[in-house]
């Protein structure tokens, strides 16, 4: 095993429930065969952690982590000192889905980092080498987190829509949280600055941020413009009302992509789907193989500065309680814990 100097213990955040985060001391794990120990340098907050913040967590949360390899176990090839991002899903690499490249649909997934295995809010995170994506030295750890839910999940949703509707000329995004902002940003980067993207939300801060990124803001607590017709709608809010509004805004051959987990959606199959030939698709995270293309996009032209504008707040891990409270107030874009 190759290693840098690593402490025997680490102080990590403990999500105890009731919206409280305390600290606890845990041993630093030693990487086994095929494993890497990552010294975490950045981890972005996500709305999917609301349940852990509210109800507590037996494991250390954090599934948008980036950092540097501090130790490498036997049968690994990644040099100690390599910086990279950690993919959420510890996929098996052998099942039918993985062999076809659909690692986000692994049939024998070993873990979801930060949800049922310790994640990135600790000092160190133990990961399978197969889910560690190296980045060049010029990409900071915080920038590396952009490859995950912002670029990865956002870009994958648009790619899902293009499978059914390749001639996309307009887009509605319901929800201007970080995932929705990621969809907006990826649409602008992939389709051009003039590509029309409408973004609905109830939070003024996030609507203003969406507008600064080139989106057209719409109030979600008011009716959408009756003449609004888009080719694709991506729901990141997870609310039934938002999904229903998005479906109603689709033109013929329109595609609704559901990204945000949450509530249901009732359908009038004949009127909503058959007659206008609309489609409703799910989109779960993204495939590991999408990361190289997104890294190249991140490093192209003005893309880096544009994407970095989605990160509005950075906190040290000592202020993680305040970070979560502010994030769930809605008065932020992407929030990152930096160590």
Same domain membership, residue 253 and residue 161: yes
Same domain membership, residue 162 and residue 68: no
Domain that holds residue 201: 151-282
In a 3-state reduction of DSSP, which class is residue 113? Answer: strand
Whether residue 293 lies inside any domain: the answer is no
* Model pLDDT for residues 33-79, shown as the tens digit of each residue: 999 999 999 999 999 999 999 999 999 999 999 999 999 999 999 99
Q: Are 154 and 179 in contact (CB under 8 A)?
A: yes
| Packed helices 178-191 and 154-164: angle between N→C axes, nearest 10 degrees | 60
Token pair for 294: 């997104």
**Domain count within the chain:** 2
| Packed helices 178-191 and 204-212: angle between N→C axes, nearest 10 degrees | 20
Same domain membership, residue 232 and residue 124: no
SS (H, E, C) 152-221: HHHHHHHHHHHHHCCCCCCEEEECCCHHHHHHHHHHHHHHCCCCCEEEEECCHHHHHHHHHCCCEEEECC
Q: Are 254 and 230 in contact (CB under 8 A)?
A: yes
Closest CA to 121 of 231, 28, 42, 51: 42
Q: How far is CA 324 from CA 21, 39, 91, 203, 319, in A?
A: 9, 22, 28, 17, 9
For residue 315, what pLDDT band results from cuts at 50, 70 and 90? very high
CATH code of residue 91: 3.90.180.10
Residue 323 to residue 70: CA distance in whole angstroms? 26
Whether residue 287 lies inside any domain: the answer is no
Give the residue-averaged pLDDT of 14-18: 98
Q: Are 139 and 83 in contact (CB under 8 A)?
A: yes
* Model pLDDT for residues 152-190, shown as the tens digit of each residue: 999 999 999 999 999 999 999 999 999 999 999 999 999
Q: How far is CA 214 from CA 184, 192, 217, 310, in A?
A: 8, 10, 9, 12
Give the residue-averaged pLDDT of 248-255: 98
Specify the pTM: 0.96
């Amino acid at each position: 095993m190759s290693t840098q100097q690593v402490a025997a213990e680490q102080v990590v955040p403990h999500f105890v429930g009731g919206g409280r985060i305390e600290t606890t001391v845990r041993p630093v794990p030693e990487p086994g065969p095929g494993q890497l120990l990552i010294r975490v340098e950045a981890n972005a907050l996500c709305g999917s952690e609301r349940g852990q913040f509210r109800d507590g967590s037996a494991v250390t949360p954090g599934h948008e982590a980036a950092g540097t390899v501090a130790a490498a176990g036997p049968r690994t090839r990644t040099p100690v000192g390599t910086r990279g991002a950690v993919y959420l899903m510890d996929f098996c690499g052998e099942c039918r889905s993985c062999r076809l490249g659909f690692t986000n649909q692994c049939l024998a997934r070993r873990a979801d980092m930060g949800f049922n295995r310790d994640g990135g809010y600790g000092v160190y995170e133990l990961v399978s080498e197969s889910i560690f994506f190296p980045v060049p030295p010029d990409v900071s750890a915080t920038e590396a987190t952009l490859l995950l839910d912002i670029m990865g999940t956002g870009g994958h949703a648009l790619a899902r829509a293009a499978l059914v509707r390749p001639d996309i000329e307009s887009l509605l995004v319901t929800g201007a949280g970080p995932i929705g902002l990621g969809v907006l940003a990826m649409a602008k980067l992939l389709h051009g600055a003039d590509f029309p993207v409408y973004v609905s939300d109830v939070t003024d801060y996030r609507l203003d941020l969406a507008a600064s990124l080139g989106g057209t803001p719409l109030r979600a607590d008011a009716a959408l413009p009756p003449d609004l017709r888009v080719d694709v709608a991506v729901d990141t809010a997870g609310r039934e009302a938002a999904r229903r509004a998005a479906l109603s805004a689709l033109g013929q051959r329109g595609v609704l992509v559901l990204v945000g987990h949450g509530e249901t959606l009732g359908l009038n199959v004949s009127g909503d789907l058959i007659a206008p030939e609309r489609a409703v698709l799910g989109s779960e995270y993204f495939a590991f193989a999408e990361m190289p293309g997104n890294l190249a996009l991140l490093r192209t032209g003005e893309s880096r500065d544009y994407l970095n504008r989605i990160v509005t707040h950075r906190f040290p891990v000592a202020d993680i309680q305040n970070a979560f409270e502010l994030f769930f107030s809605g008065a932020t874009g992407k929030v990152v814990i930096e160590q």
